Structure 1
Amino acid sequence: MKRLAPKASPPLTAALLAVVLLAGKGLAQQPEPAKETRKELPFLQVPVTVAKDVTMKVNALAWFRYTWNQSAQGATNGSAFSVRAARLKFSGDLPKKFKYSFMFAFERANGATASQNSALYDYMLIYAPTAYFNLTAGQFTVPVGAEVMTPTDQLDFASRYYAQDRILNPSFNHDVGVMASGKALDQRLQYWLGVFNGSGANLTANDNGDMLYASRLQWVPVKAKLLGLDSTLTLGGNAMWKRTMADPSSLKSTDLAAVSFQYPYHRIVYGGDLAWKLGPARLSGEFIGARLDGQVKDPDVRAYGWHVTAACRFLSEKLEALVRYQVYDPYTRVKARTDMDWTTLGLNWFINGQNLRLTVNHTIKNERIDRVRNDESVAQLQVGF
């Protein structure tokens, strides 16, 4: 079916115009550049001492979003307001070089996360004797991928990239387990090694006696001045594996719902990433691949996805323009509507750094076959401290 020419999104056009007009006024009043580091409210700049050798720090994050969608038939447009994120975090120090962190999520679960999200989003007890070695236990992100490990309030776009969301566990790849991590070579080399249940967040028990094993290595080979600008090159690689009895990923439960498998099978995920920063400009890319290796008569399923993203800040770093191209193929042997490539245009306005930020995205969606009109526009206000 021939793809119909997309119509301009009235909400997106109005939002972009409002951003540019308001930005000019705001920049005239506040010419100082925004810092990427989080600015705490005055009473939270220093963690509060609640007992001997015990401190507590409070952070919060909220996303208020407006989404405009084209319908599959193209006859009507769907739009909605939503509270996409509502998080509250308590963290601090404990005696004997221990640290703790609790994060609670109060937003409504949706889609693949419906059976995974709960009020307890993160719980971490961390033993940190040196920078070279930390040991973390609890519920937290499995270290597979650069973007999945990026803090929610630091994301470039309103949503994480699609292939990673489908191939990894729901709830942004959170799981229950133990992980060793550390930094070396003047913090230019980082590692993560973890063992997890592999079944998702704490609402779900381990599906068998086998564990999920995950690892990630990140290296900064270049950190210097180039053309008078700060330049940084970061490389990363990661992998995870489990002999599973209940794969919780959207890849298996939704995209491969019609494909027959016999449990158990080997779930293998791997990937790599690159990020180059030169002054106010950034170029990054990430690849993720998966293989579901089952019984002798089962199909050998291979899936993959990747993205390339370019961004640049301007007007004293108050505004940031972005573009992302991403691809996802959940079954390389079969052409289907789930095969997609998307192009996203984005604009971030850092009203007060990351504490108060407006994000506007427009995504042009293409499917490999049976194309439909389903482009999407998003305007999202981020508030945090």
Structure 2
Amino acid sequence: MRAETESSDSERLQKLERAVELLQQRNADLEKEVSALKKSASPAPRPPREMVSAPPASDGKSIVTKTEVKEEKQPVYAVAAASEFKLTLGGFIQAQFEAGDVSAFEGRFQPASGEIKDRFRIRRARINVSGDYKEEFDFKLEGEFTQSDVGFTVRDASGRTLGSNSNRTAFGATDLFANWHRFPELNVKVGQYKAPFGLEQLTSDTKLFTPERSLVTTALTPERQIGVMLWGKPLTNLWPEQKDLLSYSVGVFNGTGRNISTNDNNEFMYVGRLEVMAVKSKILNQEVGVKFGANALSSRDEAGTTISGAERENSDGSLTGFTLPSAAERSAYGADASVRVGPFDFVGEYISQRVGTRTVNGIAPLFTGFRADGYYLQGSYFVIPKKLQLVTKWESFNPGQLVDDDIHSITAGVNYYLKGDDLKLLANYIHTWSDFRAGNAAFEHSEFDQVLVRLQVMF
């Protein structure tokens, strides 16, 4: 009995000794792991300071060499000044070469509209800052270094300069807005941004398949305005699988254009847009999408308001900016469709605008009302997926102020994507003709040709 007890005690001691050894081994392993973690978490050693010998200095008796220590420059970081949890700095540059009948596709027929020579041009150079707050707000601040094609100076009878618009580079704001996005069904956007009208106008400059937008878009869309807008996707929570099926935008704006804080009267421009994503799927491993859109606007404007950069028709059939000589009211509508099947894209859009006259304070209208409309059809195909793309576009615009005054253009282009939209090269040949000039023997030219090549770099 005593022998059995001694044997049992001996076994227990052996087990305890074994357990102690295992604990010691585990402790040693943990110490090694902690040491390794400390080494990986410790900051990288600072680069050695550069020793620079200064030029020898003389004390009159002997030459003394002085050694200076030059500190290595540390990296510079941009940090949010407020409570943003996300802050992004970006921008892009679009540089292009233009040759031939420059800007004829915009209705600028030389020389009556002011001849523009073959040139290299910085089309756009923008820098922007965008960010998000935890309080479910996002914002964007963007400015552009712009270049005007036309420089003019206004002087009074004595020759004193009253105003000047130089064709030098100037800096101006593009997007300046804050957006509350607590509910995907109802966002609230306040500031300066593009009014929700026109598919091509709302497509970012960096995403277009042609360097320039169609003439109907340039002439009849309101572009950037100052105001407030409600927008969203109402099916996000009701039908998550089809959240992109329906989207809307409704806004109220001053209607006087970008970077103009004053309103021309106590009335506003009302703009709305509705989009339906009819198809969004994959067929034979190809992305397939079909989208339809419709938009409308209404505005009552005072004399002196510029309503378009290319809508006023001159006696030679060319177009210039339209500043109202007297009070007017505008109403416009448009419809568009876009189809994507793998490497193929098709976009079509129609826009119509009526500019009517108004009598205000007994002042009779100083112009005749008119309706302008137009459309474009654009197709593109990736010959080499995501690299080489062919593009063609047909467009027609009717200014509606002269008889048989339609302006047509056909574009053939090729795009090469070096790194997606971040780095791409676009080349277009544009042939334009004017029905009005073709029907009037007084005008020597009715057909125009231009070559346009653009390099785009985003950062």
What is the TM-score normalised by the length of structure 2? Answer: 0.67
Larger radius of gyration: 2
After superposition, the Cα gap between the structure-2 partners of 1:94 and 1:350, relative to the gap in structure 1 and judged at 3 Å, is same
After superposition, the Cα gap between the structure-2 partners of 1:303 and 1:240, relative to the gap in structure 1 and judged at 3 Å, is same
Task: Report the equivalent of 2:390.
Answer: 321
Consecutive unaligned residues in structure 1, runs of 5 or more: 1-42
Task: Report the equivalent of 1:124.
Answer: 177
- 1:111 and 1:150 map into 2 onto residues whose CA distance is 26
- 1:319 and 1:304 map into 2 onto residues whose CA distance is 33
After superposition, the Cα gap between the structure-2 partners of 1:258 and 1:248, relative to the gap in structure 1 and judged at 3 Å, is closer
- 1:51 and 1:205 map into 2 onto residues whose CA distance is 30
- 1:199 and 1:290 map into 2 onto residues whose CA distance is 17
After superposition, the Cα gap between the structure-2 partners of 1:356 and 1:261, relative to the gap in structure 1 and judged at 3 Å, is closer
**8 A Cα contact 2:211 2:426, kept in partner:** yes
1:153-172 counterparts in 2 under 5 A?
Answer: 153-169=206-222
What per-residue deviation string (whole Å, max 9, x for no partner) do you get for residues 326-372 of structure 1? 00011166233xx2100000111000111100000010111103242
After superposition, the Cα gap between the structure-2 partners of 1:217 and 1:265, relative to the gap in structure 1 and judged at 3 Å, is same
- 1:138 and 1:312 map into 2 onto residues whose CA distance is 37
Task: Report the equivalent of 2:57.
Answer: none
Q: Which amino acid aligns with 1:84?
A: R
1:305-320 counterparts in 2 under 5 A?
Answer: 305-320=374-389
Deviation, 1:52, is 3.4
- 2:425 and 2:380 map into 1 onto residues whose CA distance is 16
Deviation, 1:48, is 5.8
Identity %: 25
- 1:137 and 1:261 map into 2 onto residues whose CA distance is 27
Q: Which amino acid aligns with 1:60?
A: G
- 1:280 corresponds, among 328, 339, 343, to 343
- 1:91 corresponds, among 123, 130, 146, to 130
- 1:55 and 1:260 map into 2 onto residues whose CA distance is 42
Relative contact order: is structure 1 or structure 2 higher (C-alpha 8 Å, sep ≥ 6)? 1
After superposition, the Cα gap between the structure-2 partners of 1:225 and 1:129, relative to the gap in structure 1 and judged at 3 Å, is same
Task: Report the equivalent of 1:378.
Answer: 452
- 1:342 corresponds, among 399, 406, 409, to 409
Task: Report the equivalent of 1:304.
Answer: 373
1:178-257 counterparts in 2 under 5 A?
Answer: 178-185=228-235, 186-203=243-260, 205-245=262-302, 246-253=305-312
**Mean Cα deviation higher: 209-218 or 312-321:** 312-321
- 1:259 and 1:335 map into 2 onto residues whose CA distance is 20
After superposition, the Cα gap between the structure-2 partners of 1:273 and 1:48, relative to the gap in structure 1 and judged at 3 Å, is farther
Deviation, 1:251, is 4.8
Deviation, 1:315, is 1.5
- 2:142 corresponds, among 88, 100, 103, to 103
**8 A Cα contact 1:220 1:235, kept in partner:** yes
**Mean Cα deviation higher: 119-128 or 252-261:** 252-261
- 1:271 and 1:224 map into 2 onto residues whose CA distance is 26
Task: Please tell me the root mean square deviation across aligned C-alpha atoms, in Å.
Answer: 2.8
Deviation, 1:183, is 1.3
What is the TM-score normalised by the length of structure 1? Answer: 0.79
How many residues matched?
331
**8 A Cα contact 2:253 2:268, kept in partner:** yes
**Mean Cα deviation higher: 374-383 or 308-317:** 308-317
Deviation, 1:179, is 0.6
Deviation, 1:168, is 2.7
The answer as to 2:120 corresponding to 1:81 is yes
The answer as to 2:87 corresponding to 1:56 is yes
Task: Report the equivalent of 1:271.
Answer: 334
